[in-house]
Amino acid sequence: MNNTNRGKVLLAMSGGVDSSVAAMLLQEQGYEVIGITMKLWSYDSVSCSSSRTACCDVDAINDARETAVALNIPYYVLDFTERFKEIVIRNFVSEYLNGRTPNPCVLCNIHLKWDALMEKAKALHCDYIATGHYAMINYSNGRYFISTAKDTQKDQSYVLWGLSQEHLSKTLFPLGNYTKEEIREKARNLGFERIAQKRESYDICFIPDNNYHAFLQSQVSDLEQLCPPGNFINTQGTVVGQHRGYPFYTIGQRKGLVVAFGTPKYVCKINPQTNEITLGDKEDTFSDQLIMKHYLLGKYARIPLNFIGETKIRYRDKGHTAKITQYEDHLEIHFLSAVASITPGQSAVVYENGDVVAGGIIDLP
């Protein structure tokens, strides 16, 4: 172990292999580590025998505590459930009621995890905060910015676009230069075999069964009255069927439409004002532009003129070449080739050679 004291780090620990190995790596690099688990949601109804794992349920907290004890580092659990409901859950429900598809992980990172970690780090006199995300932080021309991780399959830069310059200046990502398998192997070599074998956490941590329809119904008691069934229409405006309520659909959706056409149809538009959902062919879901609202710049203090970058419109997106133009309150993204299923409420992230140039929330022109 490196005996050089490189400062004190507050590490977010989920009980999984990534944050556990992050603690080990930070210790090896000479940092004094303090572990913290943020309890964001109640998982009382989640079966412990589930094949999937929640990120901050009781089992996860116990695993994080055991790792902290084994590594001889202080460990805290902070209850942020009310703050999570106020910031993330309220937005999640509101966006669906407005016919949009939110990305709660991005909002949680921006307005809850990093802000809360920074507050606690300051109280504990820590120099840095750290997480087990697969991403890297670089610095050039007076600016910090996120870059993609070595493991492109696990890269999480897409959900980190909202971190401010202050956040990035105090953040460490120990896993950025490792692959997932290397991290699992590291855990096994250090005797943490059970942790090394743990499954991935949920994509949406507060919906363990992935049934967001039921979740919305649990959060909005009069959902059926607020968003009653309405008309499916085709691209010419003709009624072609009935939908069960527009919050239960998303742009690009093909399955679960419960209307037979003989050929596949896709959700092209959701109009909460008229309570109509437009269905069309695959080509009807394509568009060559979007508006990016609530954006944050990364690599550059201002987008260069005639800038061309790769823009991802969802987490698993491969990226699409586009021209980016900056305005005071939004960015305009013009794709060189049309892109399918651009979804309002999701995030768009612009890259240049793996570096995050900008990120924001998708809106349509």
The per-residue pLDDT for range 122-141, each reduced to its tens digit, is 999 999 999 999 999 999 99
Rounded CA-CA distance 39/204 in Å is: 14
Catalytic, 205? Answer: yes
Catalytic, 108? Answer: yes
Check pLDDT > 70 for residue 191: yes
- The answer to whether the beta carbons of residues 145 and 137 sit under 8 Å apart is yes
Check pLDDT > 90 for residue 211: no
**Under 8 Å CB-to-CB from 24, ≥6 apart: which residues?**
71, 186, 187, 190
* pLDDT for res 213: 87
Rounded CA-CA distance 124/118 in Å is: 10
Rounded CA-CA distance 150/188 in Å is: 20
* pLDDT for res 3: 56
Check pLDDT > 90 for residue 1: no
Confidence grade of residue 117 (pLDDT, cut at 50, 70, 90): very high
* pLDDT for res 324: 98
Average pLDDT over residues 172-185: 97
Check pLDDT > 90 for residue 325: yes
* pLDDT for res 301: 97
Q: How many CB atoms are located within 10 Å of the residue 37 CB? A: 25
Check pLDDT > 90 for residue 330: yes
Q: Where are the beta strands (DSSP E) in 5-106?
A: 8-12, 32-39, 75-79
Judged by average pLDDT, the poorest of 9-13, 20-24, 204-208, 307-311 is 204-208
Q: How does the average pLDDT of the chain come out, rounded?
A: 91
Beta bridge partners, 309, equal 322
Q: Go through the domains of the chain in sequence order and give each one's CATH number.
A: 8-132+174-196 (3.40.50.620), 227-280 (2.30.30.280)
* pLDDT for res 318: 93
Q: In terms of Cα–Cα distance, which of 295, 339, 345 is closest to 317?
A: 339
Q: Looking at 55, 56, 105, 108, which residue is catalytic?
A: 108
Rounded CA-CA distance 69/293 in Å is: 44
Of how many residues is the chain composed? 365
Average pLDDT over residues 28-44: 87
Check pLDDT > 60 for residue 55: no
* pLDDT for res 52: 44
Residue 151 CA, distance from chain mean position:
17
Judged by average pLDDT, the poorest of 62-71, 203-212, 234-243, 244-253 is 203-212
Please give the residue that has the higher pLDDT: either 80 or 230: 230
Check pLDDT > 70 for residue 28: yes
Judged by average pLDDT, the poorest of 203-207, 245-249, 333-337, 346-350 is 203-207
Rounded CA-CA distance 249/74 in Å is: 45
Judged by average pLDDT, the poorest of 15-19, 42-46, 70-74, 158-162 is 42-46
- The answer to whether the beta carbons of residues 345 and 95 sit under 8 Å apart is yes
Q: In terms of Cα–Cα distance, which of 168, 162, 135 is closest to 358?
A: 162
* pLDDT for res 4: 65
- The answer to whether the beta carbons of residues 66 and 35 sit under 8 Å apart is no
Tell me the per-residue pLDDT of 59-101, one tens digit each, with 9 for 90 and over. 888 889 999 999 999 999 999 889 999 999 999 999 999 999 9
* pLDDT for res 43: 57
Which helix (DSSP H) or strand (DSSP E) does residue 223 occupy? helix 223-226
* pLDDT for res 5: 80
Confidence grade of residue 309 (pLDDT, cut at 50, 70, 90): very high
* pLDDT for res 173: 98
Rounded CA-CA distance 24/67 in Å is: 9
* pLDDT for res 321: 98
Q: Looking at 56, 105, 205, 227, which residue is catalytic?
A: 205
Q: In terms of Cα–Cα distance, which of 337, 298, 302, 350 is closest to 143?
A: 298
Average pLDDT over residues 179-196: 92
* pLDDT for res 262: 84
